[in-house]
Chains A and B, each alone.
Chain A
Amino acid sequence: MTHPASGSPTGAPTGAAPAPVPPARRSGPGERGSPRRSSYERWRAPLGSRATALHAGAWWLWALGLATAASRTTNPLVLGLIVGVAGFVVAARRTDAPWARSYGAFLKLGLVVVGLRLLFSMLLGSPIPGTHVLFVLPEVPLPAWAQGIRFGGRVTAEQLVFAFYDGAKLAALLVCVGAANALANPARLLKSLPAALYEAGVAVVVAMTFAPNMVADVVRLRTARRLRGRPTGGIRAVLQIGLPVLEGALERSVAVAASMDARGYGRTAEVPPAVRHTTTVLTLGGLLGMCAGTYGLLAAQGAAYGLPVLGLGAASALAGLRLGGRRSVRTRYRPDRWGARAWLVAGSGAAVAGLLIRAGGVDPAGLHPGVVPLVAPTLPLWPAAAVLIGLLPAFVAPVPPKEASK
């Protein structure tokens, strides 16, 4: 991934991506060609390809870290910062593959969630005591058995602000999931599953590819309706298109199943009966152990033996999975490697999560701005700085190549 020799060391490698220049290594404009440059070249984010691709799990850990952080705060400024960080990384590092286009959909979904939360709060009222009445909706009188439920009535500023904070938290969580979806190919993640779970995973991935295919079918059939001179909107159109779309999906799934069968899906190796039985015992026993352990942890007594039983159960279930993998003859073609960059990406997400959890303990007021009485939220300095760590992937993750986005 060498940069053309004529390019300046601070030049952006590709048009779309911002210049990934670690501040510590920024060299002055006069220092072109100095020995420092080679180390800079070495550390700069490589061009994305199969060989340099970041492990899909790293992206998911990063996104889950941000999501954990978002779940620890209701401060709209911090939440906005988290969404901004996720958005920046997505803008800098996503490819133009079909799965990478989901980010916008998740953003819209987040906005819908906020809107719904506000709407319900207005309609159904809220336990938040408020003094600033904004307006009064006509209240629907409900029968006696529905006491405790209110429909309509007073709407206070406090309750709306509370609902907004709450909705924003959920929206931020969704956006983080959307970012992971846009950055990591879901099928790649599958390659990292244990062999015994592979077949279930394939089913999930094949199912996921059906959504875009069905959307394409709907578009095609709507066009075809137009060709017959029928309106493309309206309930009747939906009904008439619906059946062929489902039919098409069914036919396609049968075709894919035939293709998978003809290409060796589901071939199994002969395993001695002893191994098979051990696998069953280990897996079932492990799952039972995990259930019992969890029950012990949650029950009032028994926390003492809960944890060890849970641990034993988990270990035996894992061993069962591993042994079960022996039945599968599958090998893996170029699985993603977990390298230094993957550690950095996953670590940055974990750091954000850890620091915000810690900040929640130290300064709960900053992360949960009060609603009663109504105060303007302020940006807590240290948690905000911690969230910015989440920007790291925008500089260390491989740059998506231009051709792949065309």
Chain B
Amino acid sequence: MIRFEQVSVTYDGAAGPSVQGVDLVVPEGELTLVVGPSGVGKSTLLGTVSGLVPHFTGGTLRGRVTVAGRDTRTHRPRELADVVGTVGQDPLAHFVTDVVEDELAYGMESLGLPPAVMRRRVEETLDLLGLNELRDRPVATLSGGQQQRVAIGSVLTTHPKVLVLDEPTSALDPAAAEEVLAVLQRLVHDLGTTVLMAEHRLERVVQYADRVLLLPARGAAPVLSSPAEAMAVSPVHPPVVSLGRLAGWSPLPLSVRDARRQAAPLRDRLSSVPASEGARGSASRALPGPAPQTPAGLKYPASSAFEARGSGGSAPGSGAAPGLLARLLGRGRPQPAQPAVPAEPAEPAEPAEPAAGETARARNLGVRRDRTDVLRAVDLAVAPGETIALMGRNGAGKSTLLAALVGTLPPATGEVTVGGRTPHRTPPPEMVRHVGLVPQEPRDLLYADTVAAECAAADSDAGAPPGTCRDLVAGLLPGVLDDIHPRDLSEGQRLALALALVLTGRPALLLLDEPTRGLDYAAKARLVEILRGLAADGHAVVLATHDVELAAELADRVVILAGGEVVADGPTAEVVVSSPAFAPQVAKVLAPGHWLTVGQVAEALGAEGTR
């Protein structure tokens, strides 16, 4: 269906080709997943299919791409519109009209289909994607998941032979993602549509794939193979594959169901290990206060799921957690004015609040927006050194809770205190020393032309000594150049920079909104390490996330929100294991045992081995 012949793409001004040596045929009627670390040219490869590369983006395409027999060199994107449907990462950038129904019809109008056909297909698509309730709604008023479904629907109506999707589920909550994926599978199975999809969150999609197109590294020739073969060698893979590799299962399981079939012996072995030992990693980190971390807790292993860490040189390994910030801040400044911090790893680096109390507290918090209660009667206490994951479907009020904690939204009822202050009444320059928020789009925090200028501004904003922020950036992610424009950074680098800007004020409470959106596994592993280090320093971390694997790795506590209310609040293992939507893959495979991550399993097996 899609034929690549010796394709390479070089963007203008780039040193080397983004993609090269692509020579393969994507078979008709199959779901092909494009897999690889970020920056290897997945989006470029997808763009060549719709013709947007190079007709729209510029650059040079060598070789030939044909879709359903049409050569993309001679056919512009608009002339391919009836065979290729494209959905990008941001649904809002995709919409041309303003009402759902018109949006679904737009592509068909462009193709000049008869009105009767258009009407029938719109109705079919509304049913297929469950959008009938929303048909008259302006697209701007929909939630993120609904928007993504409308975007997919809007290209489905033209009945394209090929559907190209670039990270279609990265913005969705687990349930909405399942819904979208189920639709895609139905298209492949029933209608014979060829689907080409790139996605970072492999745990969601890999079991649906018929083929995997693996791009191992930038400029390396991609390999098309069966999912199991690809996962056996892929540098990026979901937890269930890591577990399979760890346990030596063959064939390698790709779905929870496959893994459960082979997991009985492992479950038996693990049941002999006390479950508390397995879950101790998170349990010991949950201990509030400056109490020195027990060695067992600190030796929380760098999980085998993240052997692909790479990317950065001096990874602060497993033992380096405590005093990370202290070391970062202490480094590069000789001695004066600062009592020797790095010497005592157990001593938290000047947490802004004396650890006795709680870092933040919301009592009976309510927030209203346009006559609707976005939050209602929320009670939440955050202890120093604690990591909390806020979960819940899109629009459940996660971001609003973060905004209330940081003071950008005033509470309608109840009260919020962070570090003894009321956030929305405290002037911003003072507030940044108590609480910092990394927004969903880290770019919003960046104004300056270069990384160096950005860091200098952050230092003066927070009243920190010059160089503080730059040292933080270097510590979080080595290799970010001083004179690069923030826009040219990769997603992971940009997140690290935003995190450094926020940490310059040394807030006791750190809030992150969807931090793993667009991050590959390596960048995610890096983030996990950083956040663990910060928590060990006594920072409280609250993250709003859809990423169940991240929550399982990091969080001591999980708070689930629904309709603006807290519906569950407790230790991660207890809340998450029983939940169909929020359980990580390892928990699903090893249920009823309380195992959350491959790291825990590896540690337990290691302990068992030495016993």
Residues of A within 8 A of B (CB): 49-50, 97-99, 185, 187, 202, 205-206, 209, 212, 220-221, 223-232, 240-241, 243-244, 252, 255-267, 269, 329-334, 401, 403-404
Contacts and interface: CB of A to CB of B under 8 A. Distances in A.
Contacts of B443: 244
A102 to B, nearest CB: 13
A187 B155 contact: no
Given A224-B444, A224-B445, A331-B118, A267 B110 contact: yes
Given A227-B406, A259-B96, A333-B122, A265 B110 contact: yes
Given A259-B93, A262-B50, A267-B78, 20 more contacts: A97-B141, A98-B140, A99-B98, A209-B98, A223-B408, A224-B445, A227-B432, A227-B436, A228-B428, A228-B432, A228-B457, A228-B502, A231-B429, A244-B443, A256-B93, A263-B107, A263-B158, A333-B122, A334-B115, A334-B118
Contact of B140 (A212, A260, A401): A212
Interface of B: 50-52, 55-56, 76-82, 84, 86, 88, 90, 92-99, 101-102, 105-115, 118-119, 122, 133, 135-138, 140-141, 154-155, 158, 403, 406-408, 428-432, 436-437, 439, 441, 443-445, 447, 457-458, 461-462, 501-502, 505
Most buried by A among B78, B118, B141, B432: B78
Nearest to A228: B461
Given A232-B428, A333-B119, A227 B98 contact: no
Main secondary structure of the interface of B (DSSP, over half): helix
B439 A333 contact: no
Contact of A187 (B50, B86, B102, B140): B102
Given A187-B102, A255-B88, A330-B109, A229 B96 contact: no
B105 A334 contact: yes
A228 B501 contact: yes
A335 to B, nearest CB: 9
24 contacts: A98-B141, A99-B98, A220-B444, A223-B439, A224-B439, A228-B445, A230-B461, A232-B428, A243-B447, A259-B88, A261-B77, A262-B77, A262-B80, A262-B86, A263-B96, A263-B155, A264-B78, A331-B108, A333-B108, A333-B109, A333-B115, A334-B118, A404-B136, A404-B137
Main secondary structure of the interface of A (DSSP, over half): helix
B60 to A, nearest CB: 18
B136 A227 contact: no
B96 A202 contact: yes
A262 B107 CA distance: 9
Nearest to B81: A264
Contacts of B447: 240-241, 243-244
A266 to B, nearest CB: 5
A264 B115 contact: no
A266 B6 CA distance: 31
Contacts of B101: 50, 333-334
B114 A331 contact: yes
A334 B500 CA distance: 52
A245 B269 CA distance: 57
Nearest to A217: B444
Most buried by B among A185, A220, A241, A263: A263
B112 A329 contact: yes
B458 A330 contact: no
Contacts of A212: 140
B429 A229 contact: yes
A263 B77 CA distance: 8
A209 to B, nearest CB: 7
A150 to B, nearest CB: 48
Contacts of B155: 263
B55 to A, nearest CB: 8
Nearest to A186: B98
Contacts of A244: 443-444, 447
Nearest to B76: A261
A50 B140 contact: no
A376 B158 CA distance: 65
